[in-house]
Structure 1
Amino acid sequence: MSKIRVGFIGCGNVATRHALWLLKIPEAQIVALCDIDPGAFERLYQRVPGLVPDLPRFSDYRQMLDTVELDAVQVLTPHTLHFEHITNSLERGLHVLVEKPMVCTSEQARAVIEAKDRAGKAVVVSYQRRYQENFRFIRDLLNDGPMGKVQYVSGLLGQDWLNLFRNTWRHDPGLSGGGQINDSGSHLLDIVMWATGARPQNVYASMEYFDAPVDINTALTARCEDGVLLNLAIVGNGAEWRDEITFWTENGVIYYRDGQVTAKLRNQEAELIPPAGPDPDNPARNFIAACLGDEPVKSPPEDALKVALFTETIWRSAQTGSPQTVAWD
C-alpha cells in the first residue's frame, strides 16, 4: 500500500490533533518534525505517544524539505508564516495542509492559488467544521432540503481569547496577522459562507481592542449579493465559551448551539435533527485522499481567499468607521 510521507512544519499544540488524525489513516506516515522550539518535540511526543520514536527533528523547515523524502507537509505555524511555508513547499513539489487562516491577506491567498495550480498539488485548509456531520447536515438542509431561501443569519463566537493567549504569538500582529477575527473568528466566517453559499457585499463593523495590540471583540453586519443579511459577533473577552449560529429561511429556522443542531419548518412541531454518531471525516483524511488522487479537496484555497477578502473588508470598515464593499473581483 502506498503511503503519503508527511513532515510537520510546526509542532505546537495544534499539531497534536493533526498527528492523532494521521495516525488513524493507514495511507499516512509522519516522517519528520520541524519547530524552532526544541522543547516542542518532547511535548508533542508526550501528547501523542503513538508517534514513531526518534523521528528526524529540524529547527529550519528548509533543511527538512531538502533532506527528507517527503510527499506532503502540514503547516501548523503562526499565521503570518503560512505563506512562506506553503509556497516554498509547493515549489518543491509537495502537497500542503495548512491551519486556518490559510494566509493573512487576499493578495497572498491569490498567490497561493497560483502556486498550487503551477505545482499541480493538493492544498487543504484545515477548516474542520466543514467535515463535521452537524454542519454538513445544515448545509444539506439549506441547499437541497425543504428550508427554502436563506434570509438572515446571526452568529456568536465567544471565548476568553484575550486572557487565554495573552503574551503569546497570537497577540503579536507580526505573527498573528490580526486578532480574534483572524483566529477563531475565521471559522465562523468560513462556515457561514460555506453553508449558505452567500457572498457578503456591503459590510459595517466595529471592533474593541481592550488595550491589546490586536482586535478582541468584533460586531458586524453585512448584506450579501443575494440579499441574505448577516449579523455576526466575535467576542474574545468572554467569560465562557459560546458557539451559536441561527439560520432563518423562507420556510423555517436552523439552530446551531455549541455543537447541537435542531431545525424546524414553518407551522410544524416536529424537529429535524442530524443523524447520531461520531463524525467520520476530518481535514487530514481528506488531505491524504486528495494526495493520492482519490477525492477532491473539500476546503480549498479558493474558499480561503473568500475568507481573506471578507476579513480585510471587516478590518477596513472598523478602521474607517464606515460601510465597506467586498472587492470580490
Structure 2
Amino acid sequence: MKHSRRDFLRSASALAAGAGLVSVLPSGVRAVAPSDRIRIAAIGINGMGWSDLTAMLKHPAAQCVALCDVDRNVLDKRVGELSRQGIKAKAYSDYRKLLEDKSIDAVIIGTPDHWHCLQMTDACAAGKDVYVEKPLGNSIAECRAMVAAQQRHQRAVQVGQWQRSQQHFKDAVAFVHSGKLGQVRLVKAWAYMGWMKSIPVKPDGTPPAGVDYKAWLGPAKERPFNPNRFHFNFRWYWDYAGGLMTDWGVHLLDYALLGMKAETPKSVMAAGGKFAYPDDAAETPDTLTTVYEFDGFNIQWEQAQGIDGGPYGRDHGIAFIGNNGTLVLDRGGWEVIPEKKNMEAVPRQKAVDNGLTLHTQNFIDVIQSRRLDDLRTPVQAGAHIATLAQMGNIAFRTGKKLYWDKHAGQFTDSDANQLLAAGYHNGYKLPVTG
C-alpha cells in the first residue's frame, strides 16, 4: 500500500470531517475540568498544522482556542470547521499578536520551513510550549538557535517526527540493537514518490485575495508572487525548504541514525539533479543519492520523484544491511530477510497504532507533567536529524565531498560553510544562540 503525504493529509481531513475534532474519550478516561485543560493555538493550518491539531484534540485535556494563518481563505475555512464542531477559536493573521495572549499554553507551528525558527523561538520567549513541524530548521544555524531558545526558556518543544511514537519502529530498532543482524555495514533510506509529478512553469502574478504575501515571505527573499511557490509546493524551492531530503529524509534518516546509534558523519557527498523533470518549475533535485560516512558503516539516502519502485519493492523505507541478514522497515511494518542460512527470517510485523495521535498525545502529557525528558522527539533530536539532512543538501549544492569538523561545528570547506545559515531578509534577523 502506498502512503504519500497527500494521502496522509486527505485521510486526516476526512477523519476530522466525519468524526468531529472532539473525539469520543476512550473507555475509562475521565473528562478533564476546564481549569486543567491545555489551551492550544495553531499557526499555519493549511496542511500538517491542521492534521496535528486534529490529532491533538483527541486528548481529553486539549482545547483549541486560536488559529493563525496569513491566508484568510484558509483561516476562515478552519474557523468554520471548528465552529461546526462546537469549538470557538479566535482568528489571527499575525502570529505575534497571537503569542501576546497569555491564556494560550501551547502552539502548533505548521508553517513553511523558513518560518519555523522565528516562530518557535518567539513562542518559547512568550512562555508557550511548542509542537513544531519537521524539519525543525531550514538551516544548521537555525537548528542551533532553536535548541538554544528551548534551553533558555525551558519549554516543552516536540518536533513532528511522529514515527518516533509508533511501536513497530521502536521494535525494529530494538532488533537492530540486539546484534542478530551481525555487523551492519550499510544502511539505506529512501523515498520514491511516484505521485510527485512535474510542476509546470507558471508566470508571476498577483497574490490571491485574502493572502498577506509579505507576511508569508517573512525572512525569505523578496520575490514576485508565483503560485508554484505557494502552499504545498513551497517544499521544492531553496528559499523556503530543502526538497525531499528535508520533507521525507528527516523521517527516514532519523531511524537510520537511531538504529546505528550514530551522531554526525565524518564526511558527506551527494549527486543528483533534475533528471526526471529538467525543465519544470521546481528548484530542488528530483533525483538524489547521498552518502554519509561514519566509522565502520555508511548511511545512504536515495530519492526519486515520479517513481514508486524503490528498493525491496517499497516506495519508502530504511534497510539495515548486516552480515547475517537485512531488516527492512517502513511505515507499514518491518521484516528480516536472512543472508543465506546465517539466521532465521522474521515475517512482516505490521504497524498496529497511529503515530501522529500518539505523538501529539505525548506532547500534551508532557505539558501536564513538565517531565521534558519524556518527549518522544525533543528539540535536540529534531535538530540532530535536520542538521544531517541539511548537510546532505549542502553537499549536493556545492558538488563536493565535504568533511565535517565536529569540534568546530562546521565543514572544512569555506564554500560549504557559507550555506550553514539561511539568509534573512526584509528586516528579519536570525535569533541569537547565546
TM-score under structure 2 length normalisation: 0.69
Residue 179 in structure 1 maps to residue 214 in structure 2 = no
- Cα distance in structure 2, aligned partners of 1:167 and 1:111: 26
8 Å CA contact 1:90–1:96 kept in 2: the answer is yes
Residues 153-189 of structure 1: CA deviation (Å, up to 9, x unaligned) = 1222011435479553223433x23222122222222
Select between 255-264 and 114-123 the one with higher mean Cα deviation.
255-264
**Structure 1 outlier segments of 4+, above 6 Å:** 46-50
In the TM superposition, residue 217 of structure 1 has moved relative to its aligned partner by 2.1
Partner of 1:254: 327
Choose from 321, 346, 350 the match for 1:271.
346
After TM superposition, the structure 1 = structure 2 runs for residues 1-329 of structure 1, keeping only pairs within 5 Å, are 1=32, 2-44=36-78, 51-67=85-101, 69-144=103-178, 146-159=180-193, 160-161=195-196, 163=198, 166-168=228-230, 169-174=234-239, 176-199=240-263, 200-209=265-274, 210-211=278-279, 212-224=282-294, 226-238=295-307, 242-257=315-330, 259-264=332-337, 267=341, 268-271=343-346, 273-274=348-349, 277-279=352-354, 282-292=358-368, 293-294=370-371, 296-329=374-407
Select between 126-135 and 299-308 the one with higher mean Cα deviation.
299-308
- Cα distance in structure 2, aligned partners of 1:150 and 1:50: 53
Residues 104-139 of structure 1: CA deviation (Å, up to 9, x unaligned) = 111111111111111111111101111122211111
- Cα distance in structure 2, aligned partners of 1:328 and 1:283: 31
- Cα distance in structure 2, aligned partners of 1:265 and 1:300: 35
SS in 2 for 1:282: helix
- Cα distance in structure 1, aligned partners of 2:72 and 2:242: 26
8 Å CA contact 1:35–1:60 kept in 2: the answer is yes
Percent sequence identity is 24
8 Å CA contact 2:79–2:89 kept in 1: the answer is no
8 Å CA contact 1:217–1:237 kept in 2: the answer is no
8 Å CA contact 1:205–1:219 kept in 2: the answer is yes
SS in 2 for 1:67: coil
Unaligned 5+ segments in structure 2 are 1-31, 200-226, 408-434
8 Å CA contact 2:242–2:393 kept in 1: the answer is no
TM-score under structure 1 length normalisation: 0.89
In the TM superposition, residue 290 of structure 1 has moved relative to its aligned partner by 1.6
- Cα distance in structure 1, aligned partners of 2:349 and 2:386: 30
What is the RMSD computed on CA atoms of the aligned residues?
Answer: 2.6
Structure 1 residues 264 and 158: CA distance shift in structure 2, 3 A: closer
8 Å CA contact 2:190–2:249 kept in 1: the answer is no
8 Å CA contact 2:47–2:110 kept in 1: the answer is no
In the TM superposition, residue 313 of structure 1 has moved relative to its aligned partner by 2.3
SS in 2 for 1:161: coil
8 Å CA contact 1:156–1:243 kept in 2: the answer is yes
In the TM superposition, residue 276 of structure 1 has moved relative to its aligned partner by 6.0
Unaligned 5+ segments in structure 1 are none
Q: Which one has a bigger Cα radius of gyration?
A: 2
8 Å CA contact 2:252–2:317 kept in 1: the answer is no
Structure 1 residues 40 and 114: CA distance shift in structure 2, 3 A: same
In terms of fraction of residues, the more strand-rich structure is 1
In the TM superposition, residue 11 of structure 1 has moved relative to its aligned partner by 0.8
Residues 66-91 of structure 1: CA deviation (Å, up to 9, x unaligned) = 13511110100000001110010000
Query: Amino acid of the residue matched to residue 34 of structure 1?
Result: C
In the TM superposition, residue 251 of structure 1 has moved relative to its aligned partner by 3.6
Structure 1 residues 60 and 131: CA distance shift in structure 2, 3 A: same
Aligned length: 327
In the TM superposition, residue 51 of structure 1 has moved relative to its aligned partner by 4.7
